[in-house]
Structures are given as C-alpha cells and as structure tokens.
Structure 1
Amino acid sequence: MGKLQPPKARPEHWSGPLIAVVYTRREKRYRIISARRARENERQACDRRFG
C-alpha cells in the first residue's frame, strides 16, 4: 500500500464508496493511472489514519 494522502474534505462530508487512486504528476497536471474501490484493509488503514 502506498502513502496515504490527507483528505481535502472532512470525513463527515464524504459519501459513497472509498476509492483508491494511483496517479502521477506531469508538469503542472495530475494524471490518473487507475482508480478502484478500496479494499477492506485500505478502508481500515484510512479509518485508523483519519478517524
């Protein structure tokens, strides 16, 4: 599992499934390589990290 990035919004404002995203930065833009529903262990890691 990669590095967890702090969320931009507070958790109580989130809705829907948690998505795991792999991205790269190209110059001033971000390019999404893949996005998928987070696995159970990734959801648990997010809960531990961000509450």
Structure 2
Amino acid sequence: MTSPPPASSPPPPVAPDMPPPATPALLISSTNGHSDGAVSRYFVV
C-alpha cells in the first residue's frame, strides 16, 4: 500500500464538476433540481 499524502497537500476533489463544499447552502440553491445526486452526496458526507 502506498503512503498517504502529507497533511499539507489538499485531498483530491470528489466531484471536479462541482464547487468546493465551502458553501453547502449556496450549492443547494444553485443545484436545486439540477444535480440531485451531487447535493445528496454532500449531505451524506
């Protein structure tokens, strides 16, 4: 198994086509009915 990346390196993006989970409320409003799966994924995480 390969060693995990250093803490200084940010984790890989889960969804490159989606913005960072910095503003979940804004994301929900923007993707309301557009990307149901993406929004649900954020809630699950």
The normalised TM-score by structure 1 is: 0.28
Which one has the largest radius of gyration? 2
Specify which structure has the higher proportion of helix.
Answer: 2
Specify which structure has the higher proportion of strand.
Answer: 1
The normalised TM-score by structure 2 is: 0.30
